[in-house]
Structure 1
């Protein structure tokens, strides 16, 4: 067994995780933004040291897949040279910060995220999946993104700090915003939060200085694929793109100065105007009505050793024939989607169980269906 295998935590560059297709090496870009040259370098490193596949994660990270163990150190050196990871192991693990992707220099999100990065060293050691969100635009956009502690716009128009699982937050004074986030993280650890693992499961009453007073403002719609004031929002089916396809597109679009990573399987490409290569139109989607964007599917077999069947080819073929949300899961864990879906298929021993309005692993309406039977059931055969 590889020394890298660790369960129940989120990998980063310095602590990769072994999957069925090799090591997963995750990069968390500062401010969720990757300059053009660094992104091209990351893509080339993924081809050289991995299998050339890159995932965009639900925590707005970039995940290089299929890294060979004997290439891991060379990949780390490449990422260091590109300025994409911190030279001190452990810093990136603490910097699990999601930033609203439409920030601009000088606004509250940009200001507070920069202040948070400057104080990462003050955070206590937290469980591997605990993270933060800075969502300080005119209305929250990250309300569905995974985060345990948030700064977001409150209903009164000011900023609030809110702990996940609580419907209200505490108003923040100017200049005290990051003090409150750091203090909440310390309170979480001091009150046994490590045993719960996540803030939403932590039953301890919040301290009086973080009392629940104000609800967040009404959320704004998330970014949709297509033209955006900052450039072009591009959706990636199942959050994955081949590094070679990405390089071709970047080379066809020289105006792109940087790419912002979102938690919605999308990239916001600054100054981009169009998809450069029609050959890559299946990998880079700007049509928000594309059926594949209504489908969630984990990496499946054989890339995940816990998956019981291949998933994504079936999801892509089935999506146009399912009216609502489709979830195809390689096992009952349901890693690709935690919320219920209109149609959910859960792999079991090489076949699938079918349920409706349910999560992965739910009691099936139809059990033991193979891919052909599923496609026939939905009129997709």
Structure 2
């Protein structure tokens, strides 16, 4: 079966139609929410959508089930809180800021936002990753231009696809990131509004001069798990989805930082909260399972993949990652997984150590066939 590739992500003013209504994506500045913003989003999800909120790997939020006749009211409710791009503006830039950021990192992110006002148009999925804690922690998160640190603490600007980066100062970094984006366009990285940095680098392109890669970033850290960290409490959600009422409860505990790992960080909290619908056990197998909306919520989904993922979760072997996709696009996880299951009209296809769009190792499996695989106990 062929799948439709949209080539753009939804936004607040330009939602995307899905099987359960419109999907409205909100990009809070610096991936942070004040309690008032979080409460307003929770209310909007319940008043204008079906009450469900997704946490995509872009460290933002998506309201699901919004109806065409309520979309304008949703925009009017959220615009005064700075959660909607100005009318008539260009598509919002994709910027992910590490949830472990300090004041200097947030200042860099603000400066990048200002510098990008004069940057060229970029593909809708093109993204900037500000990952400049002591060591990179978002190496497995999709992005095109990365700001990281070297082992001795210097800032490095790195194009995704290259092992090395270019040293920059905090004063140079925002404009240098824009310059690297401009190099991407000038080098032919964008075709008909699409393109990614890694694809351009794979063709042999490499920036020169001040952007030339010379230094290695610090070794990356493992993906974080739920627990208490220096900045607050990290809590997870099954398949990155929560109810609006859950978000409203969390808003009573403090400001929230969005993460690209299907988790929220509650600022300043020194103990994990006892709120229904959270994953707080770092050993929970659902943290290693990635499942998209699937049918009937997605128009292209070929099965109820979240029900299948939920059924398989208790049997998944330790340290095994599982991606259950409703189609070959693999929206829930663009990177390889140990096991990938793709729903088709004939059954479920199995891919080993690959992505949803890769050739399957076995085809048309039933749920009971899947349980016989060695990766399930």
Structure 2 length-normalised TM: 0.91
Q: Give the 3 Å change call, closer, same or farther, for CA 67–371 of structure 1 in structure 2.
A: same
Give 1:290 deviation, angstroms: 0.3
Give 1:115 deviation, angstroms: 0.8
Alignment of 1:205-284 (within 5 A): 205-250=206-251, 254=252, 256-272=253-269, 273-277=271-275, 280=276, 283-284=277-278
* SS of 2:190 mapped into structure 1: helix
Alignment of 1:1-381 (within 5 A): 7-91=6-90, 93-105=91-103, 107=104, 109-195=105-191, 197-202=195-200, 203=203, 204-250=205-251, 254=252, 256-272=253-269, 273-277=271-275, 280=276, 283-323=277-317, 324-349=320-345, 351-375=347-371
Q: Give the 3 Å change call, closer, same or farther, for CA 249–172 of structure 1 in structure 2.
A: closer
* SS of 1:193 mapped into structure 2: coil
Q: Identify the structure with bigger relative contact order (alpha carbons < 8 Å, sequence gap 6+).
A: 2
Cα distance in structure 2, aligned partners of 1:365 and 1:219: 31
Preserved CA contact (<8 Å) 1:33 1:258: yes
Give 1:154 deviation, angstroms: 1.7
Preserved CA contact (<8 Å) 1:55 1:63: yes
Structure 1 length-normalised TM: 0.90
Cα distance in structure 2, aligned partners of 1:141 and 1:379: 27
Q: Give the 3 Å change call, closer, same or farther, for CA 71–118 of structure 1 in structure 2.
A: same
Q: Please tell me the root mean square deviation across aligned C-alpha atoms, in Å.
A: 2.2
Cα distance in structure 1, aligned partners of 2:274 and 2:16: 34
Preserved CA contact (<8 Å) 2:12 2:85: no
CA deviation string 1:190-239 (max 9, x = no partner): 22221261111113331322111011111133332011222210011111
Cα distance in structure 1, aligned partners of 2:161 and 2:41: 36
Q: Give the 3 Å change call, closer, same or farther, for CA 94–41 of structure 1 in structure 2.
A: closer
Cα distance in structure 2, aligned partners of 1:12 and 1:166: 30
* SS of 2:246 mapped into structure 1: helix
CA deviation string 1:271-296 (max 9, x = no partner): 3333233xx1xx21111100111111
Cα distance in structure 2, aligned partners of 1:36 and 1:276: 18
* SS of 2:183 mapped into structure 1: helix
Cα distance in structure 1, aligned partners of 2:157 and 2:358: 35
Give 1:363 deviation, angstroms: 4.1
Preserved CA contact (<8 Å) 1:133 1:150: yes
Cα distance in structure 2, aligned partners of 1:137 and 1:201: 27
Q: Give the 3 Å change call, closer, same or farther, for CA 274–344 of structure 1 in structure 2.
A: same
* SS of 2:228 mapped into structure 1: strand
Q: Give the 3 Å change call, closer, same or farther, for CA 173–363 of structure 1 in structure 2.
A: closer
Give 1:380 deviation, angstroms: 8.2
Preserved CA contact (<8 Å) 1:317 1:380: no
Q: Give the 3 Å change call, closer, same or farther, for CA 95–355 of structure 1 in structure 2.
A: closer
Equivalent residues, number: 366
